[in-house]
Amino acid sequence: MSIWFNKSLSLPTMQPLGPQTMGEHLGMEWVAVGDDYLKMKMPVDDRTKQPYGLLHGGASCALAETIGSIASHFVIDPEKYICVGLEINANHVRSARNGYVTATCTPLHLGSSTHVWDIKIHDDNEKLVCISRLTVAILRKP
C-alpha cells in the first residue's frame, strides 16, 4: 500500500526538482518511486567533490536532505501542511571519486508532527557510501 498522499505519484509527476535549487545545481535526478521509497541520483563531479577529489560529505547530506524532505512533502496534504528539516545525521562509510551516487529513502516513522527517514547512498557498484537519518517537522499552514 502506498504511503504517498497522491496515490498516483510517478516519476513524470516528480520532474523536475525546480529551477535555481540546490538539487538542480548539484545535478540531482529522480531515479525511481515505489509504494514506500524514493530513489534519486547525483553526479560525483566538480560540483560535489572536495579538494582531495572525493565526494564531499556535505554533498551527501544535501542529497539526503533533499530526498527526505521531498518524501515528506509527498506524504502530507500540501494544502494543509508544510514540512521542514529538523535534524540530519550522516555516517560516511566509503568514498566515491566519480560516476553517480544513488540515494534510497524509506520511512522509519510517519507521525502527525514528525517524519523520520532512512537514507542509504550507494555508488555505481552498489557499495554503501553513506547512511543518513533525517527528521522532518510537519507544520500546519497558517
Q: Which of 126, 9, 121 is nearest to 73 (CA)?
A: 9
Q: Which of 94, 92, 138 is nearest to 115 (CA)?
A: 138
| Three cell numbers written together for 44 | 560525483
Cα–Cα distance measured from residue 128 to residue 20, given in angstroms and rounded to the nearest whole number: 29
- Give the three-class secondary structure for 99: coil
Phi, psi of 100 (to 5 degrees): -130, 155
Residues designated catalytic: 65
Say how many C-beta atoms besides its own lie within 10 A of residue 32's C-beta. 12
The identity of residue 40, as a single letter, is M
Q: Are 64 and 121 in contact (CB under 8 A)?
A: yes
